[in-house]
Amino acid sequence: MQILTTVAGMRAAARQARASGKSLGLIPTMGALHEGHASLLRAAAQKCGAVAASIFVNPTQFGPSEDFSRYPRSLERDCEMLRREGADFLFAPLPEEIYPKGFSTYVTVEGLSERLDGRSRPGHFRGVTTVVAKLFDIVQPDFAFFGQKDAAQHAVIRQMTRDLNLPVNVMVCPIVREPDGLAMSSRNAYLSPSDRRSAAILSQCLQEIERTHRQGERASSKLISAGYQILQREPAVRLDYLEIVDPDTLLAKDTSSGQALVAIAAFVGNTRLIDNLLLL
Ligand code: PAF
């Protein structure tokens, strides 16, 4: 695996891969890789002739009181996983490479960026779309792979890709879960043993909503109430949002008919976790 730390180096490596006729897949990450990322790497390896991953803890997507400085960083372990999963390139730039002195251009997807996590974390999606637009421009991948766990994030990125006519196919891979249902996330590492046990309630809440939906209930208010009842069992969990929305517009829906995404965000101790599920 070739490790590139400069924009020029990554551009040249990607150009060479494309020149040899290979399709190029990109997996943008912030590192602290887990099985969810491994599933993205495998999907990319299946679809593309060459695979690049990026590891960059992106300062612009963290709010001033968020966890940027303590976000888990584990470059050596991450490299082992990337090699094991057959990545060809790792792009691991320093912040000043991506945001040189005087940087002042941002990409904002209006509307969508203020919904769900964007409402709770003002400016978050502006940071995400800015860095992802830059990564798309530097690597020029044919395909980019994102996890369904970040449902609002991939909706915003899909919209940006359409609006800016970026020649990248955005691929979304299923959520990978722990045996008790907890969605895999780099932030799970923050959880104390007791918070870790409590955190399973998020997926149990979603499952209850899905069960109620399968029984024929379609009113969002009733489905959400069924979820609240489960959440009440865990007083350690502080809800940020639990909503039924359209997965493309992220706007709230009164009923779960048609396309519907149930999305939840909650604090378990000090750790903010998100999860979601599509109602079919
Ligand atoms: O999902 C993430 O890890 C990040 O938001 C991303 C897409 C790598 C942008 O920094």
Q: What is the CA radius of gyration of the chain?
A: 19
Cβ–ligand 1 distance for 60 under 6 Å, the answer no
| CB contact set of 151 (below 8 Å; sequence gap of 6+) | 116, 247, 261, 263, 276
Once rounded to an integer, what is the mean pLDDT over residues 150-158?
Answer: 98
pLDDT digits (tens, 9 = 90+) for 27-69: 999 999 999 999 999 999 999 999 999 999 999 999 999 999 9
Q: Which of 267, 204, 206 is nearest to 238 (CA)?
A: 267
pLDDT digits (tens, 9 = 90+) for 155-208: 999 999 999 999 999 999 999 999 999 999 999 999 999 999 999 999 999 999
CB 10 within 8 A of CB 4: yes
Q: Which residues pair with 146 in a beta bridge?
A: 172
pLDDT digits (tens, 9 = 90+) for 116-140: 999 999 999 999 999 999 999 999 9
- Token representation of residue 14: 């990607």
Index of the ligand 1 atom closest to the CA of residue 132: 9
Index of the ligand 1 atom closest to the CA of residue 128: 9
**Ligand 1 pocket test: which of 153, 156, 158 has the largest number of ligand atoms within 8 Å of its C-beta?**
153
Angle CA 237–265–119, to nearest 5 = 130
DSSP helix, strand, coil percent of the chain (3-state; round to 5) = 40, 20, 35
Q: What is the pLDDT of residue 53?
A: 99
Q: How many CB atoms are located within 10 Å of the residue 224 CB?
A: 17
Kindly give the distance from the C-alpha atom of residue 202 to the centroid of ligand 1, in angstroms, as a whole number.
21
pLDDT digits (tens, 9 = 90+) for 68-119: 999 999 999 999 999 999 999 999 999 999 999 999 999 999 999 999 999 9
Nearest-CA residue for atom 1 of ligand 1: 29
Q: What is the pLDDT of residue 215?
A: 98
pLDDT digits (tens, 9 = 90+) for 230-276: 999 999 899 999 999 999 999 999 999 999 999 999 999 999 999 99
Residue 250 backbone zone (phi > 0: left; psi -120 to 50: alpha; other: beta): left
Q: From CA 227, how far away is CA 139, in angstroms rounded?
A: 41
Kindly give the distance from the C-alpha atom of residue 28 to the centroid of ligand 1, in angstroms, as a whole number.
6
Q: Is 37 a catalytic residue?
A: yes
The torsion angles phi and psi of 162, rounded to 5 degrees, stand at -65, -50
Residue 7: pLDDT band with limits 50, 70, 90: very high
Q: From CA 251, how far away is CA 14, in angstroms rounded?
A: 37
Q: What is the pLDDT of residue 6?
A: 98
Q: What is the pLDDT of residue 179?
A: 98
Q: What is the pLDDT of residue 197?
A: 97
